[in-house]
Structure 1
Amino acid sequence: MGGSPRTLLINPTITSRSSARFPLALLNLAAALDRNGHSQIIDGNVDRDLIGATLAAIESDRFDAIGVSVMGGPQIAPSIEVSRVIRERYPQLPIIWGGYFPTLYTDTALSAPYVDYAIRGQAEESLPELVAALARPGAPAIANIGSLSWKHDGSVVHNPNRRFSLGDSGIVLPYEKLGDPRRYLARTFLGERTAAHQAAIGCRFRCTFCGVNAMFGGMTALPTAKRLERDLSYLKYELGADSIQFFDHNFFDREVDMIPLLEVMAKLEMPWWCYARSDALLNLSESTWELVRKSRLRMAYVGAESPSGAMLKEIRKGTRPDQTLQVAELCRKNGVIPELSFMVAPPQNTLEETEHTFEFIRELKRINPASEIIVYIYTPLPESSKHEKDRGKHASMPLLDLHGEPVVFPSSPEEWTERRWVDYACHADAPWLTDELRRHIQDFVTVLRCRFPTVQDLRSPSWAKRGLSAMASWRYRRRQYDRPWELNLANRLVRLRMPQVSGL
């Protein structure tokens, strides 16, 4: 084809324009691709006519390949749609899927006629190598590209995984590829212009249910303090960001490694939100907590998962229920809001575990009323989606539906667009839930979020939130969760924010 390799990167629509955040994965890929080529980004969260924008880009430029970033859940349908249109209009143009979905469900992704290649896990090294191989004769053979899966003679070939790394090009991400990057700064409870950023990637813990472990295999990499300060200073002084939402898979790691990063945060003093673990926070010394306070950490999202020690051990969480209670108190003393997530309705002891979790949540609210609670349905990954290091090593009970039949996961991207599987991917429903338990969980969540409206809700007026809280107080106090018709009616008018759906 001649010339340097050219790649069109697509982030299919997954959220509203007002909730759009920097497409950080594509920005990192663009930085890698641009070292020896050229890239362009289309973000469907901002460019609402995703198909039109994609076709216009292809018609006005030359591309050697199309890279599509694909999450599970609601992003599958637009990913299929844009890939199909490209295949119909430009059948010779290679289409590459990357991200969580093709990493977890590689064979499923490649079963589609509109997907030619899938990159598992990190793509900053694999994608440039693949595009170069497609663009230039004599480039390294496709069979030698790590973490690549591809079609050959009617079958799927999985190249070996490549090493985990956190490369640093030495430059700030190419935000200018997004047009005006300031339109991605959002008003949140953290500030008027909150920017999304990812410093560390991966997580060294091996939770069996977690897509991060399946993608990175228990590996993690933290940035240098120099890099973090460079990146955040650009966001603050060049773009005008006044707060940060970290998309790190697990921001807090070992204390000795965190101190230089917290010193940077304390220097910049930008209110921030991040993911954390209860054990990591509990292990911080008082001097480090002083840095945390100075850095203005506002909220930490902690995966509490379950009040059952046995279940935490089974899913290899590595934490204990008592640590969840302790971290709620610790955060209260240090002015940090703990946002604690729980997984209810596991396949075994479904009702008992769910009721136990409800009571545990009440205890947390007693210890720290400011604690924010997120309730998900426990929807574990199929064995085939786990990281290769973990497959077959930790035998678990087979997943059965309400009729006692084995749960059969979709074998095509189209099947994953069915409502029941979108809900499964979003931890909103599971095949083993009865209608009664499903409604009971929804009712508990309704009473809980009305009784304790989230501080992240800037849209609902204060008087409305106070009114809903008062209406829900008797139900919460007496544990009368079922059929809260009056709260459902009132919430149609107030429309409280749901962090598990909309995030910040």
Structure 2
Amino acid sequence: MNNSPRTLLINPTITSRASNARFPLALLHLSAALDKHGSSKIIDGNVDRDLVNATLRTMEQDRFDAVGVTVMGGPQVAPAIEVSKAVREHFPDMPIVWGGYFPTLHTNTALAAPYVDYAIRGQGEESLPELLNALRTPEPTLADIGGLSWKNGDSIVHNPNRHFSVHDHGAVLPYDKLGDPRRYLARTYLGRRTAAHQATIGCRFRCTFCGVAAMFGGKTLLPAAERLERDLSYLKYGLGADSILYFDNNFFDREEDMVPLLEVMAKMEMPWWCFARADALLRLSESSWKLVRKSRLKMAYIGAESPSSQMLKEIRKGTRPDQTYQVVELCRRHGVIPELSFMVAPPENTEEETEHTFEFIRELKRINPETEVVVYVYTPLPDYARHEKDRAKRPATPLHDLHGEPIVFPKTPEEWTQKQWVDYACHMDAPWLTDKLRQRIHDFVTVLRCRFPTVQDMRSPPWAKRSLSAMATWRYRYRRYDRPWELDLANRLVQLRMPQVSGL
């Protein structure tokens, strides 16, 4: 009988439909690490839509030593709670481990739940196998497991952070654990069979609003070019993928490190999308841009965030507004669509900064009309959620609601499932917004996306997008954003894609 550790890994449902599912890359990496010393099975709630019953059936049919649940903030918290409660009810002695962004940012909140026994902060490829081995001993020793938080009676113990690392398991990820991995290939703007992939891990920048900075502490590591070529070869020739979504937190970094990867991608010639920074793109040499063009980069998602130099400095973005102007022109020259994200309605100078951002967006559209724009509400991380180094160096400004009362963040996972906090986690609303400003932001975004429908929208017919654009022209030209009732009505019929809700 095989007594090696066996783990059930669960990806709670987060997509609106199964056709929107992308590879659960975090669990695939985790599974590869676990299988070096044991075995694992993956249940993806984005494909297995009856997640609770699928989980219970699997646990009744097989032996497991622990259940690991990956959890992002926002809409994934509720299904994570549901499946964890079901496991606790039917298998009360089964250890339940939460990992991912939510327990990393809100560790005490996650462990306040009776259905969460352990929380892993940051990477789990080393912490989870060590935890499983410890739990198999009569008297587990948990204090030496880096990145682990756990309950010790009525108190919570936070072990020291684990050092950042990249794990190369010597083979492609265990995609076969997802059933038929080809069902994760989607028709997108990039191609008919687009695959999700992550080459680099982390981000060396420390933006104070960003969960990635809290997760990885300003560190990033790139793979060897040989590893990227191995992975892309499998996706292209093994699965038939014809394009790639790179979910790297910041794909372009130092040029000398990127060139070997770009050479591999230029050889593959698979159209691709990625996250990028304006300053990094502006520093690329002409020879590197030649590789970028040959590799067929179609769109780069760039965090412009704000037209305010002061705000960019306060959030430690590390870029300047003039670089945003420059990068949209640079992308135009090289045939790359810049997809810019902006954060409106900050807690201070809320209305003034929002209107300033609207005008900045208009100027960028004038420079490069193909520029895509994604508008979010600025919702800073709670101070406790930021990386410990950032908390020590730069305490967060206290946040207050409309009535001047200090904002109290949820203390349990259930509270984070309330609409106001789901919207906060998804950067859609904030407690300091007035109804008037909330409507103003909605109206501007409605006019903007009707006037310039996204090229990512593969569902709406071209005639419908042209009609909506024509309807929105006069409002956009004369800045008449207020109450665009006719566009709201037309949107109910056409349902244009909203990248901030359902991106590539």
TM-score (norm 1): 0.99
1:334 corresponds to 2:334: yes
| Cα drift, residue 154 of structure 1 | 1.1
Contact 1:300/1:339 (CA < 8 Å) preserved in 2?
yes
Contact 2:225/2:261 (CA < 8 Å) preserved in 1?
yes
1:366 corresponds to 2:372: no
| Cα drift, residue 133 of structure 1 | 1.3
What is the aligned partner in structure 2 of residue 444 from structure 1? 444
Task: Map 1:283-432; keep pairs closer than 5 Å.
Answer: 283-432=283-432
What is the aligned partner in structure 2 of residue 100 from structure 1? 101
CA spacing shift, 1:221–1:401, aligned 2, 3 Å: same
Cα distance in 2, alignment partners of residues 316 and 91 from structure 1: 45
| Cα drift, residue 397 of structure 1 | 2.7
Partner deviation per Cα, 1:475-500 (whole Å, 9 max, x = no partner):
00000001000000001000000011
1:121 corresponds to 2:126: no
Cα distance in 2, alignment partners of residues 485 and 81 from structure 1: 38
Contact 1:2/1:136 (CA < 8 Å) preserved in 2?
no
What is the aligned partner in structure 1 of residue 24 from structure 2? 23
Letter in 2 for 1:465: K
Partner deviation per Cα, 1:146-193 (whole Å, 9 max, x = no partner):
000000021000001111001101110000000000000000000000
What is the aligned partner in structure 2 of residue 3 from structure 1? 3
1:462 corresponds to 2:441: no
Cα distance in 2, alignment partners of residues 135 and 189 from structure 1: 48
Contact 1:243/1:271 (CA < 8 Å) preserved in 2?
yes
What is the aligned partner in structure 2 of residue 35 from structure 1? 36
What is the aligned partner in structure 2 of residue 261 from structure 1? 261
Contact 2:74/2:425 (CA < 8 Å) preserved in 1?
yes
Contact 2:378/2:427 (CA < 8 Å) preserved in 1?
yes
Cα distance in 2, alignment partners of residues 429 and 154 from structure 1: 35
5+ residue gaps, structure 1, are: none
| Cα drift, residue 275 of structure 1 | 0.2
Cα distance in 2, alignment partners of residues 265 and 301 from structure 1: 18
- SS in structure 2 at match of 1:156: strand
| Cα drift, residue 212 of structure 1 | 0.1
- SS in structure 2 at match of 1:500: coil
Cα distance in 2, alignment partners of residues 263 and 54 from structure 1: 42
What is the aligned partner in structure 2 of residue 494 from structure 1? 494
Cα distance in 2, alignment partners of residues 18 and 336 from structure 1: 27
Contact 2:194/2:244 (CA < 8 Å) preserved in 1?
yes
Identity %: 77
What is the aligned partner in structure 1 of residue 207 from structure 2? 207
Cα distance in 2, alignment partners of residues 234 and 108 from structure 1: 40
- SS in structure 1 at match of 2:108: helix
What is the aligned partner in structure 2 of residue 224 from structure 1? 224
Cα distance in 2, alignment partners of residues 196 and 148 from structure 1: 28
Partner deviation per Cα, 1:19-77 (whole Å, 9 max, x = no partner):
10000000000000000101000000000010010001100000000000000000000
Partner deviation per Cα, 1:192-229 (whole Å, 9 max, x = no partner):
00000000011000100000000000000111100000
Contact 1:117/1:149 (CA < 8 Å) preserved in 2?
yes
1:274 corresponds to 2:274: yes
Cα distance in 2, alignment partners of residues 137 and 295 from structure 1: 54
Mean alpha-carbon deviation: is it higher for 396-405 or for 302-311?
Answer: 396-405
Letter in 2 for 1:434: T
Contact 2:10/2:44 (CA < 8 Å) preserved in 1?
yes
Partner deviation per Cα, 1:394-435 (whole Å, 9 max, x = no partner):
134311100000110000000000000000000000000000
Letter in 1 for 2:110: A
Cα distance in 2, alignment partners of residues 62 and 394 from structure 1: 47
| Cα drift, residue 131 of structure 1 | 1.1
What is the aligned partner in structure 1 of residue 479 from structure 2? 479
- SS in structure 1 at match of 2:416: helix
- SS in structure 1 at match of 2:143: helix
Cα distance in 2, alignment partners of residues 382 and 154 from structure 1: 24
Letter in 1 for 2:475: R
Partner deviation per Cα, 1:309-338 (whole Å, 9 max, x = no partner):
000000000000000010000000000000
Contact 1:229/1:264 (CA < 8 Å) preserved in 2?
yes
Task: Map 1:74-153; keep pairs closer than 5 Å.
Answer: 74-137=75-138, 141-153=141-153
Cα distance in 2, alignment partners of residues 153 and 475 from structure 1: 61
Cα distance in 2, alignment partners of residues 330 and 130 from structure 1: 48
Mean alpha-carbon deviation: is it higher for 124-133 or for 366-375?
Answer: 124-133
Contact 1:383/1:392 (CA < 8 Å) preserved in 2?
no
Contact 1:252/1:281 (CA < 8 Å) preserved in 2?
yes
CA RMSD in angstroms, aligned pairs only:
0.9
TM-score (norm 2): 0.99
Letter in 2 for 1:119: I
Cα distance in 1, alignment partners of residues 138 and 169 from structure 2: 27
Letter in 1 for 2:381: L
- SS in structure 2 at match of 1:291: helix
Cα distance in 2, alignment partners of residues 402 and 367 from structure 1: 37
Partner deviation per Cα, 1:126-152 (whole Å, 9 max, x = no partner):
01111111134477x211110000000
Letter in 2 for 1:182: R
Letter in 2 for 1:271: P
What is the aligned partner in structure 2 of residue 434 from structure 1? 434
5+ residue gaps, structure 2, are: none
Letter in 2 for 1:242: D
Cα distance in 2, alignment partners of residues 58 and 488 from structure 1: 47
| Cα drift, residue 392 of structure 1 | 3.5
- SS in structure 2 at match of 1:143: coil
| Cα drift, residue 381 of structure 1 | 0.4
- SS in structure 1 at match of 2:244: strand
Letter in 2 for 1:78: P
What is the aligned partner in structure 1 of residue 248 from structure 2? 248
1:159 corresponds to 2:159: yes
- SS in structure 2 at match of 1:390: helix
Partner deviation per Cα, 1:274-298 (whole Å, 9 max, x = no partner):
0000000000001100000000000
What is the aligned partner in structure 1 of residue 233 from structure 2? 233
- SS in structure 2 at match of 1:149: strand
- SS in structure 2 at match of 1:150: strand
- SS in structure 2 at match of 1:28: helix
